[in-house]
Structure 1
Amino acid sequence: MKTILKFAVLNIFALFITACGDVDQSTVSEPEAKSAAQLTSKNGGSVINQEYPEAQAEVLKTFTAIATSITKGAGLGTDSEFMDQLISFHDYDATFTEFNYDFNGNGYLTDSKGNEEHERMLFGEIVKPGGVKQFAALPGTLKIAVYYGNVANLTFISDFVLDTHPLGEITVNNLITLLFVKTKGEWKMVHEHHSPLKILPSTGIKPSNILSDFDPSSASNAQLEVYATFGAIGATIMANSGTGAENMDELISFHAYGPKFTEFNYDAEGNGFLTDSEGNEEHERALFGNYTVEKFAYIENTLNIALYHRNVANVTFISDFEVKGIGTINNLITLLFVKTKGEWKMVHEHHSPLTK
């Protein structure tokens, strides 16, 4: 896992691209769960790099339908049929998290209620009628990684052009992570993380974060496995950071590198970027090999571990790290884990600063 230097984010329209929800294990049908188990056995416990073209096509079709609802419903009010359609693409059951930014550029953690309010207000009221001039991804950035045929991570850098009431026509370039889960035959958004492509100083009063409900004492066995893996990642960082890039092998072993792996992060100038396995490993070794981590923790009540179809887990938290020579690092962090050959491995990371 990688956390970057302490930066902040400003993009007053960062929340122009929200979509989220969560799904509980109870929503998994028996045939779906059985299918996932059969896939695990068939592939020797690993489906990290297996392709699912039909599922990818279904997710892309769903994403296109989301764009259609937004485009047709822009500026027609918060309760139009198109906004209802947009909300229907979310699964708000059980635990839900969303990372986004307010109009002052401050990051925050919210829940299903907050997400729905933002969705309806933004596209129903703030964007003018006919105001979605372009709903696209920057060329070469859209990727759909499917795991076990029933969980899909859609990542891209947006290239939206919106005509709005407060600012007129604007271009929105954000780093976007959207997690979809197939349950009862439909693909629903279950997590989102948005952060501006360019970091600028934040302003205004910091928003309050929705507190997490995750409690290790009442967690499932699978959640506890992921929790233990997360703890092991922190332990190896604490034990080996600052001792050189060559001593980061254990940290790197917690990743499942391959063609599906993606990471969103920022460089030293505050420019967001999308990278792959090679880039992630290079950054991990450089950062933790050169800097000593004195504290690896999360802000109280911000850690969530959401389990999907028993084999995929989404870990979200706001970091509370102390790094010698850098200081405190508070980042919004999304880590997607997939269980392969009995072990939980990271397949996606999205890091963005809480504030400046």
Structure 2
Amino acid sequence: MKTKFKITLLIICALFIVGFCNSDDGQTNDREDLINTQYPEAKQEVIETWAAIEQSVREGDMDKLISFHGYSPKFTEYKNGEVVNDGAENEAYERRAYGAVTEVVSFATNDFKVAVYGDVANMTFQSDFKIKFGDNLAVIKEQTTLLFVRTNDGWKIVHEHHSPLNTAD
């Protein structure tokens, strides 16, 4: 009798352990749902964050512009085919460049898309920005990707990628 009890207990323990090892299957399905599930409220929040970013550039509010970034050791930025920048380099560039803006003539984003994956969102667009620096007009045509992460303080940019846009213009 003791032997049957021990074998039964051993089988139950083995099944219990196997059950824990395979419990990831449910999480895998949840992860796959991240790709197909639409998150309309979160998408709208990201779009509103972009509108606030544009407004901060129009107003010349560099502190507000910088506040939309999630600077950390994980932050990365690619632009102009150069090596990766970190958060400090991105902040210095944005303060220097956008801090010198005297007028935003247009801040058009063509082929604008936002894809949300739970607490992560990917924004892509082709910029057609016309910005004045004093009397000089700069036209910025790029392919841009911004990666956002939802935080307790709203959506924050954690990665930027800017590539020149080849145009017939």
TM-score normalised to structure 2 length:
0.72
What is the letter of the counterpart of residue 355 of structure 1? Answer: N
Q: For 2:43, what is the secondary structure of its paired residue?
A: helix
5 Å matches for 1:181-200? Answer: 183=32
**SS, match of residue 94 in structure 2:** helix
Structure 1 letter corresponding to 2:162: H
Write the mapping of 1:87-106 to structure 2, written as runs, cut at 5 A.
none
Give 1:319's aligned residue: 127
Distance in 2 (alpha carbons) for counterparts of 1:33 and 1:251? 37
Distance across 1 between alignment mates of 2:153 and 2:76: 22
* Shift in Å, 1:345: 0.3
Structure with the largest fraction of strand? 2
What SS does the aligned partner of 2:147 have? strand
> What are the residue-to-residue correspondences of 1:1-356 with 2, within 5 Å?
31=27, 183=32, 220-240=40-60, 247-266=61-80, 272-292=82-102, 293-299=104-110, 302-308=111-117, 310-324=118-132, 325-355=136-166
The percentage of aligned residue pairs carrying the same residue is 42
* In 2: Cα distance, 1:335 partner to 1:33 partner: 26
Find the aligned partners of 2:39 and 2:76 in 1 and give their Cα distance: 28
Q: Which has the larger radius of gyration?
A: 2
Alpha-carbon distance in structure 1 between the residues aligned to 2:78 and 2:54: 20
Q: Using the alignment, how far apart are the partners of 1:342 and 1:327 within structure 2?
A: 33
Q: Which ranges of structure 2 fall in alignment gaps of 5 or more residues?
A: 1-24
| Aligned AA (2:48) | A
Whether the 8 Å contact between 1:264 and 1:351 is mirrored in structure 2 is yes
Offset at residue 320 of structure 1 (A) = 1.4
Q: Compute the RMSD of aligned alpha carbons.
A: 2.5
| Preserved contact between residue 330 and residue 354 of structure 1 (Cα < 8 Å) | yes
- CA distance in structure 1 between the partners assigned to 2:105 and 2:83 by the alignment: 27
> What letter corresponds to residue 94 of structure 2 in structure 1?
E
Q: Which runs of 5+ in 1 are unaligned?
A: 1-28, 35-181, 189-217, 241-246
Give, as a single letter, the amino acid of the residue that structure 2 aligns with 1:222. A
Q: Tell me: higher relative CO, structure 1 or 2? Use CA pairs within 8 A at least 6 residues apart.
A: 1
Question: CA 1:223 to 1:332, structure 2 compared with 1: closer, same or farther past 3 Å?
Answer: same
Q: Deviation string for 1:7-38 (max 9, x for gaps)?
A: xxxxxxxxxxxxxxxxxxxxxx974698xxxx
How far, CA to CA, are the matches of 2:58 and 2:26 in structure 1?
41
Q: Give the helix-richer structure, 1 or 2.
A: 2
> Residue 327 of structure 1: CA displacement?
2.7
Specify whether residues 219 and 249 from structure 1 end up closer, same or farther in structure 2 by C-alpha distance, changes over 3 A only: same
Structure 1 runs of 4+ aligned residues shifted over 3 Å read: 29-34
- Give the Cα separation in 2 of the matches to 1:262 and 1:327: 25
Query: 1:183 deviation in Å?
Result: 2.8
Partner residue in 1 for 2:16: none
Q: Distance in 1 between matches of 2:138 and 2:98?
A: 14
Distance in 2, Cα, partners of 1:226 & 1:319: 17
